[in-house]
Amino acid sequence: MGVSDADWMRQALAQARIAADLEEVPVGAVLVDAAGEVIAVGHNQPISAHDPSAHAEIITLRAAARRLGNYRLPDTTLYVTLEPCTMCVGALVHARVGRLVYGTTEPKTGAIESAQQLFETGKFNHRPVIEGGVLAEECAALLSRFFENRRAAKR
């Protein structure tokens, strides 16, 4: 029996917890190839890297491209704990990621189903297979706790 989407999402959640420990918004990602091998992992780090593009997805795609020596990443699945934003959707398209699996939605900046539905425009030359809601409650709870703790610290 192979590794399930939930199992991979748990690995992405582990990455998100690393981000939270670093006081970054807890988002994590894991990129897996068709054989079920992890190519790269990443977590949010725009604050610590002083880089507004250092989202978990971008960090992971960059690491995978360097490892494989190719910016195209077909036949891969990206697991990410939070619905990707516009920037990250663009990176998924350019990298030709075959499948996207995300945890919880992002009402303010989500570009798959929430704030925008970018793939519904029909304007992209690539569209990954998309599945949302994998371990959504766990992913949302991690984010909620993080922001509750941040608000409490400001009081």
Degrees to nearest 5, angle at CA 101 with 44 and 92? 65
Distance CA 103, CA 105 (A): 7
Q: Long-range contacts for 72-76 (Cβ within 8 Å, ≥24 apart)?
A: 72/96, 73/31, 73/39, 73/97, 73/98, 74/98, 75/33, 75/34, 76/31, 76/32, 76/33, 76/34, 76/39
One-character DSSP codes across 19-30: HHHTTS---EEE
Count CB-CB contacts under 10 A for residue 35: 6
The residues that are catalytic are: 57
Distance CA 56, CA 34 (A): 21
